[in-house]
Amino acid sequence: AQKVTQAQTEISVVEKEDVTLDCVYETRDTTYYLFWYKQPPSGELVFLIRRNSFDEQNEISGRYSWNFQKSTSSFNFTITASQVVDSAVYFCALDLLQTGANNLFFGTGTRLTVIP
Amino acid sequence: DGGITQSPKYLFRKEGQNVTLSCEQNLNHDAMYWYRQDPGQGLRLIYYSQIVNDFQKGDIAEGYSVSREKKESFPLTVTSAQKNPTAFYLCASSGTSEKLFFGSGTQLSVL
């Protein structure tokens, strides 16, 4: 069975601190995609990154970085020098590509609050 | 601007009533999806459609129905059979990039 676990329900940090959001996934498939989405108070989910299972290179985009480790089935997300605008709920998701459509399995989300 | 439009933003349902949530996209995407989000939980897939006039049940389809008569539109009906309809509903679409684009959601509450 497939599962995505985001053990951190809520995190609060002071502005300019670094913060890491954890994501652990379970699947027996060898081919899959992993995603991170941001859900600001407005409600819509905003795509942040997609990583396929064959690409374990870490990625950096501005203040955001992602650490993908297949050995531990983890896909963690780090925000460097956090800002108030980073306050949102962040979701990690797994796509098994079984049906040809995007059937994402979402974690329960981590609510990040950045305190000014 | 291209994107996904969901309406209304807030919707109230009376007992025994069917209500329909609208989702329109102008991204020319073939696939569209409906997700349900409950507080403190992740999103769960209700229905999805890969092409016009075709759709499949997701993980929690009971009490819901959909139609896909046009590529741009994928309305979701919450029927009276759905006993716990209060939730935040998100519509999404995808093209060839496996990336989902989401609407801003509809909050459904029961009166």
- The pLDDT, as a whole number, for residue B98 is 72
* Cβ contact, residue pair A42, B50, below 8 Å: no
Cross-chain Cβ contact A44/B41 below 8 Å: no
Average pLDDT, chain B: 93
pLDDT confidence tier of residue B64, bands split at 50, 70 and 90: very high
Determine contact: A32 vs chain B, CB below 8 A.
no
Q: What is the pLDDT of residue B42?
A: 87
H, E, C per residue of chain B: CCCEEEECCEEEECCCCCEEEEEEECCCCCEEEEEEECCCCCEEEEEEEEECCEEEECCCCCCEEECCCECCECCEEECCCCCCCCEEEEEEEECCCCCCEECCCEEEEEC
Compute the average pLDDT of residues A11-21. 98
Helix (H, G, I), strand (E, B), or coil: what is residue A12? strand
* Distance between CA atoms of residues B20 and B61, nearest Å: 15
Average pLDDT, chain A: 92
Average pLDDT of the residues in A3-20: 97
Nearest chain A Cα distance for residue B39, angstroms: 9
Report the C-alpha gap between A13 and A29 in whole angstroms.
Answer: 36
The verdict on a CB contact (< 8 Å) between B42 and A100 is no
pLDDT at A97 over 90: no
Q: Which residues of B touch A44 (CB under 8 A)?
A: 90, 102-105
Say whether pLDDT at A98 is over 70.
Answer: no
pLDDT given for residue A62 in this prediction? 93
Q: CA A109, CA A102: separation in Å to the nearest integer?
A: 19
Closest CA to A95 of A108, A105, A86, A83: A105
- Cα(A63)–Cα(A61) distance, integer angstroms: 6
Q: Do A3 and B64 touch, CB atoms closer than 8 A?
A: no
Residue-wise pLDDT for B67-77, tens only, equals 999 999 999 99
